[in-house]
């Protein structure tokens, strides 16, 4: 038994701004008959409306590496999202993500390394994205201590000790909370934490990262100023 569909023919014009096709009735004929065997699309197109304009996009499939190291497939039926923020919203829906996170994309130009996703144009169909969780507490206490023990850490200690010798300081807190560093520093520390969890790789901070950590700690410490 053969199955046929009576379908309405449409024509589409690609709209670069929306990265999708605007649908309009075909000028030649309105309806045609299509056999089931002719419907070969694995992922059928889905239409939607922007105002009164009917649109459709080519489905985009992405591989998502989650924060626990597992992977999930993300299907964007309407095509690629209009912005990185819109893509994050869809990720939260389909992958059940919560909290504050950022994304990285696999860049084949740099040997498939993961780079920060700053533009939706960097996302390609069947590409790979990695989720970096920015909401979890950064487990850097031991690494910060190691960094302070390296060259440069004793300098800040000496400065603080000399200041304490000439004046009294406000009460030191019972628990010292590691401050939130700059965005780039936090991102590097999050990546280092993930690498340690996944394969035990220990962070060896470069001079720039070490300096950023020390500067952040000093700024927090000097809040306990002298009281004349």
| CATH number of the domain where residue 126 is located | 3.10.20.90
Rounded Cα distance, 144 and 150, in Å: 10
**161, 96 Cβ separation under 8 angstroms:** no
Same domain? 212 vs 177 = yes
C-alpha distances in angstroms, 18 versus 8, 26, 57, 79, 82? 24, 21, 9, 9, 7
Residues 124 and 146 in one domain: no
User: Do 172 and 155 share a structural domain?
Assistant: yes
Which token pair is 207? 């001079």
Is 186 a member of any domain? yes
Looking at residue 136, its pLDDT comes to 59
Query: 228 lies in a domain?
Result: no
- In a shared domain, residues 109 and 68: yes
> Does residue 55 belong to any structural domain of this protein?
no
Query: Are both 162 and 202 inside the same structural domain?
Result: yes
Give the model's pLDDT for residue 40.
Answer: 74
Please give the residue range of the domain that contains residue 27.
4-42
What DSSP letter does each residue of 129-168 carry, written as one string? EEEEE-SSPP--HHHHHHHHHSTTHHHHHHHHHHHHHHS-
Residue 187 lies in a domain: yes
- The answer as to whether 168 is a domain residue is yes
**Within a domain: 151:** yes
Residues 109 and 69 grouped into a single domain? yes
Structural domain total, the chain: 3
Q: Are 101 and 65 in contact (CB under 8 A)?
A: no
Environment class of 156 (CB within 10 Å of its CB; exposed 0-12, middle 13-18, buried 19+): middle
Please give the sequence-ordered ranges of beta strands (E in DSSP) within 26-140, or none if there are none.
31-35, 47-50, 53-56, 60-65, 71-76, 101-107, 113-116, 128-133
Residues 88 and 109 placed together within one structural domain of the fold? yes
Give the model's pLDDT for residue 144. Answer: 46
Per-residue pLDDT in tens (0 to 9) along the chain, 228 residues = 788 888 888 888 877 766 678 888 888 767 888 888 887 766 667 777 777 888 787 788 899 999 888 999 998 877 787 788 889 998 889 988 888 888 999 988 888 889 999 888 888 888 999 998 876 554 444 444 444 444 444 444 444 444 444 444 556 677 777 788 888 888 888 888 887 777 777 788 888 888 888 888 887 777 765 444
């Amino acid at each position: 038994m053969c199955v046929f569909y009576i379908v309405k023919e449409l024509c589409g014009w690609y709209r670069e701004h929306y990265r999708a096709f605007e649908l309009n009735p075909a000028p030649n004929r309105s309806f045609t008959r299509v056999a089931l065997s002719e419907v070969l699309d694995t992922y059928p197109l889905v239409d939607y409306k922007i105002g009164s304009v009917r649109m459709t996009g080519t489905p985009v499939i992405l591989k998502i590496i989650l924060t626990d190291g597992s992977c999930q497939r993300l299907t964007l039926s309407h095509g690629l999202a209009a912005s990185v923020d819109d893509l994050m919203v869809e990720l939260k829906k389909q992958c059940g993500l919560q909290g504050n996170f950022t994304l990285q994309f696999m860049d084949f130009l740099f040997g498939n390394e993961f780079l920060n996703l700053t533009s939706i144009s960097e996302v390609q169909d069947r590409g790979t994205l990695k989720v970096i969780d920015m909401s979890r507490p950064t487990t850097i206490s031991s690494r910060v201590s190691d960094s302070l023990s390296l060259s440069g850490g004793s300098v800040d200690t000496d400065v603080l000790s000399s200041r304490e010798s000439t004046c009294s300081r406000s009460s030191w807190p019972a628990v010292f909370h590691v401050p939130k560093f700059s965005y780039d520093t936090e991102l590097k520390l999050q990546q280092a934490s993930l690498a340690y969890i996944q394969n035990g790789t220990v962070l060896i901070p470069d001079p720039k990262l070490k300096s950023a950590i020390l500067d952040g700690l000093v700024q927090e410490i000097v809040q306990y100023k002298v009281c004349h």
